[in-house]
Amino acid sequence: MSKRLIDLQHITKSYEGQTILDDLNLYIRENEFLTLLGPSGCGKTTTLRIIGGFETPDMGNVIFDGKNITSLAPNERQLNTVFQKYALFPHMSIAENIAFGLKIKKKSKAYIDDKIKYALKLVNLEGFEKRSVDSLSGGQQQRIAIARAIVNEPKVLLLDEPLGALDLKLRQDMQYELIRLKNELGITFIYVTHDQEEALTMSDTIVVMNQGYIQQIGTPEDIYNEPTNAFVADFIGESNIMDGIMIKDRLVNILDVNFPCVDEGFGNHVPVDVVIRPEDVELVDPESGMLEGDVTSLIFKGVHWEIEVLAHGFEWLVQTTQMHPVGSHVGIRVDPFNIQIMNKPESSDEKAVESDV
Amino acid sequence: MYNLKRQLLAGPYLLWMAGFILLPVIMILYYAFTTTSGHFTLLNISSIFASIHLKSLFLSLKLALICTGVCLLLSYPLAMILNKMKEKSQGFIVFIFILPMWMNFMLRILAWKLLLSNNGVINTLLEALGLPALDILNTPSAVVFCMVYDFLPFMILPIYNAMARIEDDILEAASDLGAGAVTVFFKIIVPLTMPGVISGITMVFVPALTSFAISDLLGGGKVLLIGNVIEQAFMQEYNWNLGSGLSLVLMIFVIASMALMSAKGEEGGAGVW
Amino acid sequence: MVKKSTERVYLALIFLFLYLPILVLIVLSFNDSKTRVQWGGFTLKWYQKLFSSGPIMEAFFTTLLISLASAVISTLLGMLAALGIDAMKKRNQAIMIGATNIPLLNADIVTGLSMMLLFVRFTQLGLTTVLIAHITFNIPYVILNVLPKLKQSSRTAYEAALDLGATPLYAFFKIIWPQICPGVFSGFLMAMTMSLDDFSITYFTKGAGINTLSTMIYTEMRKGIRPEMYALSTILFLLALVLLLFMNFGPSAHKDKNRN
């Protein structure tokens, strides 16, 4: 594993009496593509701005490459930001925008020209040097904002919802582009987004945040398949989240039916949260199901059908390739491996889990 | 889209402009190029080179430049301070700074006359503090003082507006790329407020150059600006041809200074209104 | 911290510079003394004298009449002009807006004198000539206030109204008018204030015996100032304060008022 490049230690920040971040601890490894993911107001942008130097935490330290940079001004940090609304300088040409940071570092003209060429090529906008900012489309402006940041050879690139203003198709293209860039440059990316699909596609590590607390840190696969709590499960993809009681190891009671599962160590007769992904619910004949229900809605989604089944008072969300007409009586089965058991929130920082669910 | 019937609504305005803007200018042109008996002449124009006229033109230019410079120096930091204030109080404070502009023009001159006169408020205060009296009424300094007072808001507002329009993102991006406070100021803030500065300069320089009432009332007849020369030609000597000729010269200066300014600031988008 | 207090001091100095003259006028308006440097006790007699002075009251009503009438007429003409300009092609619009800007930036003295030359040639100077002159320099302010509102207003909403069977006139009053109303209103107020404040143009286009407050104060000041003028100043300052408060924080106060 590569070394820790940035260490956030006990970061606390509040505005006008409202706590945005509460004792946040996080480290970022060299060459990692790390995404801060969460709903608006979860503190992800504040975290990024603290790393970038635009905010100073009320408490805690930012350690960069072994040095404490908590109170260092943004212009003295070895990292660059790609802003949400690009923040290109409207009174400068594209070349002047890209050259801005290099001129401050007093690089030679030849070096700067080389760098501009290289950066424009990297973002697929060769020959745009002389163009003005407002002659560019949103996607192009975004590429220039990235080019302007990377010519400074930062150790870390901070990206604050950089694709938020683009339309869907362009956003998907840019996702691949960013992954390619990251691989070519070999630097650390810290990416902020509220779009879970974006996070799952691009990241090495995802940090799910809510209300100033980190909910889970893990690989995209971990986050999707094994959410640690109901908030993460609900925020990442669609889920059936139910109250359950852990009867004993490997047996959970949901909606008065006992389901075998694979989780252990929760204790006996303990209330838990249970998550079952819609694609993991199988619809079978009523007789062979673990419980029975009626189809209440049916929507064709292209790849699959999205079906809602009312069973034991709960609306089950099911994704399946088999059609079941509304009103039909069906049975529900879930494979033990696909039942995810989570502790109910107890401590104060886990309370944040509940409110958004 | 471009419906013709609706365009006709601008008709009355066009007629009005033709009658009361274009026609009067033609009248000035006519008088400027004729003698009292109606013959063509260039003497009215060339009389600007008479030493007394030239002197007042230069004095006007000088005072207008000083006034514009002082306004700019006072306004720029002020606009920056105002722009930095908290959102809530900002509207009110800007209001405070434009309120005096809405006081009748003549009364503002009156106030300065009271302040500056020999036994006026400022001198009484200075006397009470044991300081020497400030004897500037009826001098160009008094005229400049009052001009700055009168035209300052015309400088503050466009600069402030241009500054308020700079997004925080842009400033953060600059410091993110390594720019210190000084670089941010000269490379980002100054160029982006340039349209406001230019429009402020135009809006202060032109009225300062062409003013006659301030110099008339605070100059005590000793400060003769080009505006005063023109006014006297019309109202006292009834020499309309000479007055028109000099007006034309003044107009050329106004147009030239505006052209220069608009060439400097292609954008020019930050007006007061 | 030092920086912060420097800023405070700077603001205070400019504030003093702007308000000291006005304060002096207000204080003197209550001063019961012939000489203006000595405080002779509080009095309201200058206000009484002001209201019983025939010429001053006449000038006051003339000023009011001219500014109201010119504001109404220029608002009407300017609004129509803005609607017309808005329907023009881009290039023609630019030309029209450019032409509209010229009188705003031209020297007052030249505007006033050139109109005087015209009026003297074809008619006599009087109240009407002042009115025409004021309308002329007021129209551009109205246009420049209304046009941006028209640009912001939704064209599709107007077309939707027509599509739903509204006549153009009905659609105008139901759809366009509510959207440009704040602009028309602020244009009206601005025209009125410009008219109230004007001296140069009135000075050259007025007939003998007609005085607005500006021209009257001008004449007074050349003769020597009577204390009634201080009382007048105080009242006019308060009027300006009320008017501006109304414009800034009243019904039509929108954040976009500084857009050109």
Q: Which of A64-73, A166-175, B128-137 has the highest mean pLDDT?
A: A64-73
Looking at the predicted structure, is the pLDDT value of residue C258 above 50? Answer: no
The Cα A216–Cα B74 span in angstroms is 54
Q: Do B81 and C7 touch (CB under 8 A)?
A: yes
Q: Which of B3, B107, B112 sits opposite C233 (nearest CB)?
A: B107
Minimal CA–CA distance to C248: which of C259, C238, C257, C239?
Answer: C257
Using CA atoms in the order C16, B102, B137, C42, what is the torsion angle rounded to 10 degrees?
-70
Q: Tell me which fold the domain B44-264 belongs to.
A: MetI-like fold (1.10.3720)
CATH level 2 (architecture), domain A4-225: 3-Layer(aba) Sandwich (3.40)
Task: Give me the mean pLDDT over the C242-250 stretch.
Answer: 73
- Which residues does chain B have within 8 Å of residue C103's beta carbon, measured at their own beta carbons? 21
Pairing outcome for strands A281-284 and A251-254 = unpaired
The Cα B60–Cα A38 span in angstroms is 64
Task: Give me the mean pLDDT over the A325-336 stretch.
Answer: 93
**Contact status, residue A202 vs residue A175, Cβ threshold 8 Å:** yes
Minimal CA–CA distance to C97: which of C143, C151, C138?
Answer: C143
Element (H, E) at A272: strand A270-276
Q: Which one of B177, B183, B264 makes the best mutation probe of the A interface by having the most chain A beta carbons within 10 Å?
A: B177
Looking at residue A8, its pLDDT comes to 93
Show which of residues 128-167 on chain C sit within 8 Å of chain B, judged by CB atoms.
132-133, 135-136, 139, 141, 143-145
Q: Do B157 and C258 touch (CB under 8 A)?
A: yes
Domain range for residue C73?
55-227
Q: Do B106 and C121 touch (CB under 8 A)?
A: no
Q: What is the DSSP letter of A344?
A: P
**Contact status, residue C101 vs residue B16, Cβ threshold 8 Å:** no
Q: What is the pLDDT of residues A226-244, one digit of tens each?
A: 888 888 988 888 888 899 9
Q: pLDDT band at residue C30, thresholds of 50, 70 and 90?
A: confident
- For chain C, give the percent of residues with pLDDT over 90: 15
Q: Is the pTM of this model over 0.90?
A: no
Q: How many domains does chain C have?
A: 1
**Token representation of residue C11:** 């603001």
Looking at the predicted structure, is the pLDDT value of residue A351 above 80? Answer: no
Looking at the predicted structure, is the pLDDT value of residue B76 above 90? Answer: yes
User: Is residue C155 included in any domain, yes or no?
Assistant: yes
The Cα A142–Cα A120 span in angstroms is 12
**Contact status, residue A92 vs residue A83, Cβ threshold 8 Å:** no
User: Collapsing DSSP states into helix, strand and coil, what is residue B249?
Assistant: helix
Distance from the Cα of residue C175 to its chain's centroid:
28
For chain A, where do the domains classified as CATH 2.40.50.140 start and end? Answer: 230-355
Per-chain mean pLDDT for chain A: 89
Task: Give me the mean pLDDT over the A263-268 stretch.
Answer: 88
Query: With a cut of 0.90, is the ipTM above it?
Result: no
Task: Give me the mean pLDDT over the A102-106 stretch.
Answer: 89
Looking at the predicted structure, is the pLDDT value of residue B88 above 70? Answer: no
User: Is residue C7 included in any domain, yes or no?
Assistant: no
Looking at the predicted structure, is the pLDDT value of residue B224 above 90? Answer: no
B128 part of contact set with chain C, CB < 8 Å: no
Task: Give me the mean pLDDT over the B124-135 stretch.
Answer: 77
Rounded to the nearest 5°, which phi and psi values hold at A99? -75, -10
- Which residues does chain B have within 8 Å of residue C141's beta carbon, measured at their own beta carbons? 273
Q: What is the pLDDT of residues B132-151, one digit of tens each?
A: 777 777 888 889 988 999 88
For chain A, where do the domains classified as CATH 3.40.50.300 start and end? Answer: 4-225
Q: What is the DSSP string of A193-248?
A: ES-HHHHHHH-SEEEEEETTEEEEEE-HHHHHHS-SSHHHHHHSS--EEEEEEEEE
Pairing outcome for strands A33-37 and A188-193 = parallel
Minimal CA–CA distance to B240: which of C107, C210, C204, C202?
Answer: C204
The Cα A134–Cα A29 span in angstroms is 37
Looking at the predicted structure, is the pLDDT value of residue B265 above 70? Answer: no
- For chain B, give the percent of residues with pLDDT over 70: 94
Q: How does C70-97 read in b/e, with b if 16+ C-beta sit within 10 Å?
A: bbebbbbbbbbbbbbbbbbeeeebeebb
Give the type of residue at C126.
G
- Which residues does chain B have within 8 Å of residue A101's beta carbon, measured at their own beta carbons? 177-179
Q: Is the dihedral of CA A39, A41, A42, A43 positive or negative?
A: positive
Looking at the predicted structure, is the pLDDT value of residue C257 above 60? Answer: no
Residue bearing the bigger pLDDT, C98 or A262: A262
Measure in Å the smallest separation between the Cα of C67 and chain B Cα atoms: 13
- Which residues does chain C have within 8 Å of residue B267's beta carbon, measured at their own beta carbons? none
Instruction: Name the residue of chain C whose CA is nearest to B9's CA.
Output: C84
Give the type of residue at A271.
P
Least confident of A28-32, A286-290, C225-229: C225-229
Element (H, E) at A22: strand A18-29
- Which residues does chain A have within 8 Å of residue B172's beta carbon, measured at their own beta carbons? 52, 54, 74, 81, 83, 87
The Cα A144–Cα A158 span in angstroms is 15
Q: What is the DSSP string of A70-132?
A: TT--GGGSSEEEE-TT----TTSBHHHHHHHHHHHTT--HHHHHHHHHHHHHHTT-TT-TT-B
Q: What is the DSSP string of B74-99?
A: HHHHHHHHHHHS-HHHHHHHHHHHHG
Cβ-Cβ contacts under 8 Å for B112 (sequence gap 6 or more): B142, B145, B146, B149, B218, C21
Looking at the predicted structure, is the pLDDT value of residue B2 above 80? Answer: no
**Token representation of residue C213:** 């407050």
Q: Do B217 and C217 touch (CB under 8 A)?
A: no
Looking at residue C31, its pLDDT comes to 80
Side-chain half-sphere of A127: how many Cα atoms within 13 Å? Answer: 0
Looking at residue B270, its pLDDT comes to 37
Homologous superfamily of the A230-355 domain (CATH): Nucleic acid-binding proteins (2.40.50.140)
Looking at the predicted structure, is the pLDDT value of residue C95 above 60? Answer: yes
Looking at the predicted structure, is the pLDDT value of residue C242 above 80? Answer: yes
**Token representation of residue C135:** 């309308």
**Token representation of residue C25:** 């006028």
How many CB atoms lie under 10 A from the CB of residue B260? 13
User: Is residue C107 included in any domain, yes or no?
Assistant: yes
Looking at the predicted structure, is the pLDDT value of residue B63 above 50? Answer: yes
Residue with tokens 């320099």: C137
Angle, in degrees to the nearest 10, between helices C228-249 and C2-29: 130
Domain of C71, CATH number, reads 1.10.3720.10
The Cα A170–Cα A167 span in angstroms is 6
Q: Do B109 and C221 touch (CB under 8 A)?
A: yes
Strand A314-320: give its sheet, edge to edge. Answer: A281-284, A329-334, A291-300, A305-311, A314-320
Instruction: Name the residue of chain A whose CA is nearest to B167's CA.
Output: A87
**Token representation of residue A235:** 């925020």
Burial label, A223 (beta-carbon count in 10 A; 0-12, 13-18, 19+): buried
Instruction: Name the residue of chain A whose CA is nearest to B265's CA.
Output: A91
Looking at residue B233, its pLDDT comes to 85
Residue with tokens 């009905």: C170
Q: Where are the domains of chain B?
A: 1-32, 44-264
Q: Which of A69-73, B98-102, C71-75, C182-186 has the highest mean pLDDT?
A: C71-75
